[in-house]
Structure formats: structure tokens, C-alpha cells
Amino acid sequence: MTGRFTAVRASDAVYALGEGPVWDPARRSLLWVDIDAGAVHEGRLDPVTGTVEPTGSHTFGGTVGAVAVSADGEFVVAEREVLTRVDTAGRRTELARVLPPGVRSRLNDGAVDPAGRFLVGSMALDDRKGQEVLVRLDGTACVTLDEDLTLSNGLAWSPGGDRLYNIDSTPGVVWERDYDPATGRTGPRREAFRLTGGMPDGMCADAEGNLWIAVFGGGRVECRDPRGRLLATVEVGAPNVTCPAFAGPDLDILVITTAATGADPAAHPGSGLLFTARVGVRGLATPYWVPPRP
């Protein structure tokens, strides 16, 4: 699969720092966050037109880096320093503290592993380098996978779930390691490849095992094989592209979030919008988060 594609606008709503789209097939709902607004948004994706109709939102007191959903419709939300559970009645419970109070960092991108565990990373809010973490939530305990990142970002697994990919945006590295979905055990981390010409941000995988990576500042999503070979490019009508995800009943629509922050609205009027593209391949189904039992 090779090619060049162009994404189309999917809605009119503008988000300061749109991120982290997630497809919920049971409710045929799309979730995404606006990090700076501290909001989790829900919407209805039209599988024919590729447009998204916002249907609701949940706001929090600080930043929101990521959201995941359970089979029953509960959320796990990465607030600035903690992970919060939102049950189907809207009640909120702190599950785990990931970052110490007052640190100049915040939680950023997160995703669910093939067994239903939530992983999330952090990013520095100052010029510190190499001090950020990637953790996995096991029940209500956090297991640290990395503690030397600067801007932990996109996460994806191979089709069999036996390899984990994660991005550290500041050096532009895509890391990989062996991953055991049954236990969460990981092998040594190794560099898969690096990106140039923009900062790698959010990421997802398709059913063929290739990686779709948002290039922040580059106005595009790149599809690369696990060794880094460029296979396809999706041009997006906004420079600050943040995250792609496959959605829709057939997982054949690539939903792309963008950020208005840091872009000139006159020069780039698409900044902060949702976009969609059909790229001729299907994505991997996003696993549901499995909440801890009481």
C-alpha cells in the first residue's frame, strides 16, 4: 500500500489542542480530548460522509491528555497528574497518581494494550529533558516502563500484540520492544526509527502492522512500516497535526485531530478541526479498557 491522500474537514468545531481520538464500536461513538480545555468530547461519525457531529463533552479542572473507554462505557481519563475513573453515571474516582504534586510535567498520550490495560506517558512543561515516564496501569498500581523520556507520545501495538511502539517526540524517536499481552511483561527497548521534517506526535497501527504517525508542524500523517520506510502520506489542512485513529464500523476511516494553538488562523483556517481520510486500509480494533474490580 502506497499513496498520497488528502484529508477532508469532518466538523466545524475548533479545539485548542485536539488529541487522542478513540473509536467505541459498541456505542458507535467517537471520543477525543481537547488537552488545553481539559475536556473529553463525544461525537457521532457518519460512515458514509466521514463527518463528525459532536454529541457531548465532559470537562475537568486541568489538562486532559487522553481518554479510553470500557466495554460498559466507563472512561479512564488522564488528567494533569492523576488517572481518573468516570463511571456510567458520571461519578469520578481517582484511580492512581502518576506524577508527584506540583511537578512541571503533565500526562499526555495514552492507549489500551491488547489485554485491556491503560498505558500513559508524561511530558515536561519546562526545558527538562530525559525525566518523563511511560507507565502501565495494573489495577490501581502504576508500573513504570520508561523513565527517561522528554515528551512521551503515541502508542501502538503490532497486530498480534507482541510488539509495543512508543514515541518520544522531542528527539523524534519511535521505540519498540517485545510485549507479552498476557502478563504485560516487556523486553528491552530498542530504536525502530526516527522522523524528521516535523515532530512525531500521536500514532496508531493498521491491520497490516504499519504505523500511522501524526507529524506536528508538518501538516501530515505518515504511514511507515515497522522499520521506518515511508509508505503513504495524508495531507491535512492544518500544520499542527496531533493524532490519527481508525474509526467507523469497518475501521476504514482515519480520524485525525489537530491543534489551533500555535497556528495562525488566517493562514491556516483548518487548525483545530477534526479531519477524516479514507486510505485504503483498515485499522486494528482499539481494545476496551478493563476497569479494576472493587
List, by residue number, the catalytic residues. Answer: 201
**Is 134 exposed, middle or buried, given 0-12, 13-18 or 19+ CB atoms closer than 10 A?**
buried
- For the chain, what is the radius of gyration of the CA atoms? 17
Sheet holding 275-277, edge to edge: 8-9, 275-277, 253-258, 241-247
Residue 210 to residue 147: CA distance in whole angstroms:
26
Our measurement of the distance from residue 95's CA atom to the centroid of its chain's CA atoms, rounded to an integer in Å, reads 20
Query: What is the maximum alpha-carbon separation in the chain?
Result: 51
